[in-house]
Structure 1
Amino acid sequence: TLGWVDNTWDYKQMYNRIRACNTVVERIVGGDNSLSSKVLKDQLLGEAYFLRAYFYQQMLRFYGGVPIITKTYALSDDFNVKRNTYEECINFIIKDCDQASTLLTGKTLDKGRTTALACLALKSRVLIYAASDLHERSKLTAKIISIGAQKLDFLSYASGNQNDRYKLAQTAAKAVMDLGSGYKLGLSAPVSVAEGSNNYKSIAMGGASKAPNIDASAASELIFARYFIIQNNIKHAQQNGPNGYHNWAGNTPIGLLVDDYDMADGTKFSWTNPAQKAAPYQNRDPRFYATILYDGAGWKPRDKVSGNVDPANQIQTGIYDLMDGSNKIDFKGLDTRASSIENWNGSWTGYYYHKFIDTDPNIVDATMSQNVPWPFFRYTEAVFNYIEASIELGELTNAKSWLNKIRFRAGMGAITTTDQAELRNIYRHERRIEMAYEEQRYHDTRRWLIAEETLGRKVTYIKVTGKFKAGKTMSAPYHYDASVYDYTYNSVIENAQENRSWDNKLYFRPFSRDEVNKNHLLEQNPGY
């Protein structure tokens, strides 16, 4: 339904799409159309309300309150419009969601089109955001001191009770859970590590992969997604895969994300633990192996695109001893930025992205498209929203029960804590891992007011070296072998490519100067 809309953070693009939605609403409600079918009219009107709500939601979570526009403008109209308050925007979005849900209830639609369940999922997201600390005035002002009273109205609630907002969020999330089904969330104990990893891969594939061990029924997890067909020639894997396969490494995991995956027994990974530092990719959360490509990880047949240089088909992001005749050389891995295949397009972090790349070995990522759908909303997000609201309302037993269902599906053990603060932190960590690469973490850390200690951390990358053990050697082609090599792994702080820092004004994005110049009543966010 979203077509070619990308950059859904972009203020101008969102209002272009909102104008299109307003056009549909005006023409259907006003009778300026040639449609005779009420069923079709209701469907199109419901979709327009949903999309308008979605686009406003996107702007709201980046900027706070924005001007609510419900009509199409003519050239003679006054384009200077004041921002609406945060609360007004929330109420408007919820109204559109409710209208859309009513119009779409009972409609049988093609996948990829808006459904009543998608409307409820959007409502659930909007209400859990609205209940969050970022929009609770006293907590926001404790973080960002210099905000005038009027600007506070754009960013937070002027009145009301945060607990009441959590109750609304809990109810909205439960409505999604009751109407939807999800995938394997009825377990009473953890599955095996292998099954947990396959469950997670199957969810990411959304029913579109023919790879071994992928369960097509995991498509039941999707509520609203963007689907692709061969004719679109979308090469998502080429854009994000390893350069040693002639791909572009567009999104590469940073070390901070990799390090946040727990050990399989539920304990924290730590570089200060000698055993974990010596073998950092062993015995991790099963979702790690379905999300991250790391040095030594098995991957697709490399000979289909790069020749017979890697019969083992393993990711190579390190520097290794290797024999060249009688000489020992430093061999730069095939997926590094010094690769003999491509010495560009490689990862700066030593890791590659796995999650939404089709694992079907018959798909050559550099030359072929894939059809893995993009999940705008999936069932587990609503479950997380329910868990979060339950924790904040003190309903810890209920929250733990649902949190453990998500963990059991992934092959992780039960959470047993009875402490609210500890459970809150566990939940936030679990949401980070489960929803990785789904446009959640950036917004979550801001709405929880913890961005300074999360987004504000220095980026890290991994430096991998392999040295021959005493009496051992290997000639080309190289492959990972812990019986031949002593591998060392060093986590390094990155300052050259991306020197991160945090400023509290970043809790809200600035409006561009062009937008402020075009609309003199558009008040800028604090700090800009």
Structure 2
Amino acid sequence: MRYRSILITIPLIAITIGACKKEFLQMPITNATTVDSVFTTTVKAQGAIANAYRNMLGQGLPWKNWWNAMLQENLTGGMNYGFSWTMAKDIVLNGLSAAGVNEDMDGYVNNFPPIRQAYIVKENIDKVTDMSEGDKAIVKAEMMALIAYRYEQMFIMYGGVPIISSSLKASDSLAIPRHPLKQVLDSIVDWCNKAAAVLPSKWPDNWTGRMTKAAALSIKSKALLHAARPLFNSATPYLDMGANNNLICLGNADANRWTTAANAAEAVITEAEAGGGAYIINTGNPLDDYSTATSVPSNPEVLLAFKFKNDVLFDGGNWNNLPMNAFYNCRVWEAQGNVLTTNLLEYYYKEDGANQTWPDAGTTATFADYTAKMNQMEGRFKSSFQPWQMDAWNNPGDANWRNNSTFGSGPGFGCARVVKFYAKAGGRAWFEFPIFRLAAAYLSAAEAWNEAGQTSNALDRLNKIHQRAGLPAITETDQAKLRTIIQREWAVEFFDENYRLHDVKHWRLPNIGSVLGGPIRAMAFNNGGGVKLTGNTNYTDKVIYTMIWSPKQYLNPFPQTEINKGYLVQNPGY
């Protein structure tokens, strides 16, 4: 690639909050700024490429000044919704349609400007005069993979959606109806296959973060895994849509979809490890290994990340500086509102692989008991959470992460503060959200092989992740019991990585009403009151609110404003 002299790094590793506020697609087409003027030289085109990465990969992430650090985890019951004015509260207590906002944070209509931008780059990159044909082909493949990623996300959240095959001209109709679920899936798979055939297995260090073969295959794998899960892999949709059932289910229950998903996950593992040099980090130190895998920028387990550098901690009330700012979000925001619930805490193992025993509701235990039990927890827990009256395990000895540095004045209850993604961060303000880690391919393979009846393969892939956490190998061979164990592994390994909410929905768990609904519990302290910086005496479990669940929430609603235009069919129940 002939990009060595360019100073920006794709995708926007070096972008700062003070940069120009206008996106590429928002620039007016004038004598000074036209598509033709942008796609003249490599340097100019890189701005459009960089914006395509940022806007595409930022889907569902808090980089656009949304208040909740990770909204989806609030909706799983894993974290408290925060304060009364947060966007999670209305969804949690009243449901999606009542809240007027979607759990993907961006909203449906905001998917298409980034998709259009990627198409514009793909359609115009050939105009660049100082780029080789091979390099142009790679840029086109990058854009194709980015488009596939955004569609994979919509596929999971909405079902069948309109398929856009070009940037569209002013004369083209924008009233494109929804396409059947299978057609969307086939498009994602086709885009990923074509992109993976061209993309490099690995980029030079100064281009780390750009699309690779393994990243494209990861997009394909995730789509195929969700196609195999019961929500879509069914002859009967979750709610009847009559003639439009093909928008929300695949029309039959085909066990072969599990084998297809397993093979797709295995392809990610093979390419990532053999071609890309990726690997599951396992030095025998579970806390440190998981911390590295989830928090250290450009570590060898991350196949694709959202890279957004924000060094500003807090700019005199300018809230636009908060998104993707780990340091401030943890020390002030998550420490006050988004705290761990008992509902999720119970999924974590002790470091010896046993289940921890926590006090029942109404049973009071000493605060010394709380501290002792927290110290017994597995490494992934210690990397992700900071208990009350304790310093963070994932930044040992760092003054930024001591108890008094991360103690907020929030609701006063909760099991622990959330510090995931901030391991080894010190005073670093920003973090890189891991969109695809190699661990997801292993758990995808484990889940799919188990459903395909290949128990040995399932255990091999599961234990690669489970034992990295310092836990004893799983030996269960009963398919139903192993399914529950694998689902638990997803919950723990990928906490706060925007997996669990839609995992639970697509599994169609028989008890989903008590997983994504029902009583949400957290710990209260000092005879049922609030937690203190120091001097806590006892703790108990407490129901803090009741979360609503309705079957219509299996998939997101389309905005009513779009439905009113007459070109979209609404998902059932809304």
C-alpha displacement of 1:85: 0.5
Partner of 1:64: 159
Task: Calculate the TM-score normalised by the size of structure 2.
Answer: 0.72
C-alpha displacement of 1:409: 1.1
> Could you report, residue by residue, the CA deviation over 1:390-437 in whole angstroms, capped at 9, with x for unpaired residues?
000111112112212212111111111121110110010011101111
Query: What letter is aligned with 1:353?
Result: V
- Once residues 533 and 248 of structure 2 are traced to their aligned partners in structure 1, the CA distance between those partners, rounded to angstroms, is 55
Residue ranges of structure 1 left out of the alignment (5+ in a row): 209-218, 306-311, 317-333, 338-344, 468-476
Query: What letter is aligned with 1:45?
Result: K
* 2:328–2:429 Cα contact (<8 Å) kept: no
Query: What letter is aligned with 1:175?
Result: A
- Report the 3-state secondary structure (helix = DSSP H, G, I; strand = E; otherwise coil) of the residue aligned with 1:220: coil
C-alpha displacement of 1:454: 1.4
Partner of 1:349: 414
Matches within 5 A, 1:142-161: 144-145=238-239, 147-159=240-252
- Once residues 105 and 313 of structure 1 are traced to their aligned partners in structure 2, the CA distance between those partners, rounded to angstroms, is 42
Task: Calculate the TM-score normalised by the size of structure 1.
Answer: 0.77
Of residues 191, 194, 197, the one that matches 2:287 is 197
Partner of 1:222: 302
- Once residues 259 and 544 of structure 2 are traced to their aligned partners in structure 1, the CA distance between those partners, rounded to angstroms, is 42
C-alpha displacement of 1:99: 1.0
- Once residues 74 and 298 of structure 1 are traced to their aligned partners in structure 2, the CA distance between those partners, rounded to angstroms, is 56
- Once residues 259 and 177 of structure 2 are traced to their aligned partners in structure 1, the CA distance between those partners, rounded to angstroms, is 31
- Once residues 301 and 224 of structure 1 are traced to their aligned partners in structure 2, the CA distance between those partners, rounded to angstroms, is 28
Of residues 253, 256, 262, the one that matches 1:164 is 256
Partner of 2:480: 421
- Once residues 296 and 286 of structure 2 are traced to their aligned partners in structure 1, the CA distance between those partners, rounded to angstroms, is 16
Indicate whether 1:290 and 2:383 are aligned: yes
Of residues 246, 249, 252, the one that matches 2:339 is 252
- Report the 3-state secondary structure (helix = DSSP H, G, I; strand = E; otherwise coil) of the residue aligned with 1:59: helix
Partner of 1:494: 544
Query: What letter is aligned with 1:180?
Result: A
Query: What letter is aligned with 2:573?
Result: G
- Report the 3-state secondary structure (helix = DSSP H, G, I; strand = E; otherwise coil) of the residue aligned with 1:114: coil
Matches within 5 A, 1:92-107: 92-105=187-200
- Once residues 477 and 340 of structure 2 are traced to their aligned partners in structure 1, the CA distance between those partners, rounded to angstroms, is 33
Partner of 1:75: 170
Partner of 1:213: none
- Report the 3-state secondary structure (helix = DSSP H, G, I; strand = E; otherwise coil) of the residue aligned with 2:300: helix
Query: What letter is aligned with 2:388?
Result: D
- Report the 3-state secondary structure (helix = DSSP H, G, I; strand = E; otherwise coil) of the residue aligned with 1:400: helix
- Once residues 109 and 214 of structure 2 are traced to their aligned partners in structure 1, the CA distance between those partners, rounded to angstroms, is 28
* 2:335–2:407 Cα contact (<8 Å) kept: no
Partner of 1:237: 326
Of residues 270, 276, 286, the one that matches 1:178 is 270
Indicate whether 1:50 and 2:142 are aligned: no
Of residues 136, 142, 151, the one that matches 2:233 is 136
Partner of 1:398: 457
Give the fraction of aligned pairs with identical amino acids, expressed as a percent. 26
Rate the CA distance shift 1:521–1:172 in 2: closer, same or farther, 3 A.
same
With 436-445 and 256-265 compared, the bigger mean Cα shift is at 256-265
Partner of 1:122: 219
Partner of 2:112: 15
* 1:240–1:353 Cα contact (<8 Å) kept: no
C-alpha displacement of 1:374: 1.2
- Once residues 352 and 364 of structure 2 are traced to their aligned partners in structure 1, the CA distance between those partners, rounded to angstroms, is 15
Of residues 307, 319, 335, the one that matches 2:407 is 335
Over the aligned positions, Cα root-mean-square deviation in angstroms equals 3.1
Partner of 2:571: 525
With 373-382 and 107-116 compared, the bigger mean Cα shift is at 107-116
Q: How many equivalent residue pairs?
A: 449
- Report the 3-state secondary structure (helix = DSSP H, G, I; strand = E; otherwise coil) of the residue aligned with 1:494: strand
Rate the CA distance shift 1:198–1:69 in 2: closer, same or farther, 3 A.
same
Indicate whether 1:459 and 2:509 are aligned: no
> Could you report, residue by residue, the CA deviation over 1:276-302 in whole angstroms, capped at 9, with x for unpaired residues?
984342412221111111113213799
Of residues 252, 262, 284, the one that matches 2:349 is 262
> Could you report, residue by residue, the CA deviation over 1:28-64 in whole angstroms, capped at 9, with x for unpaired residues?
5xx5554651122112101110011011111111110
- Once residues 107 and 408 of structure 1 are traced to their aligned partners in structure 2, the CA distance between those partners, rounded to angstroms, is 27
* 2:195–2:216 Cα contact (<8 Å) kept: yes
* 1:43–1:107 Cα contact (<8 Å) kept: no
* 2:296–2:423 Cα contact (<8 Å) kept: no
> Could you report, residue by residue, the CA deviation over 1:166-222 in whole angstroms, capped at 9, with x for unpaired residues?
1111111111111223444679xxx4xxx21111111122347xxxxxxxxxx1101
Rate the CA distance shift 1:395–1:285 in 2: closer, same or farther, 3 A.
same
C-alpha displacement of 1:137: 2.3
Partner of 2:561: 514
Query: What letter is aligned with 2:429?
Result: S
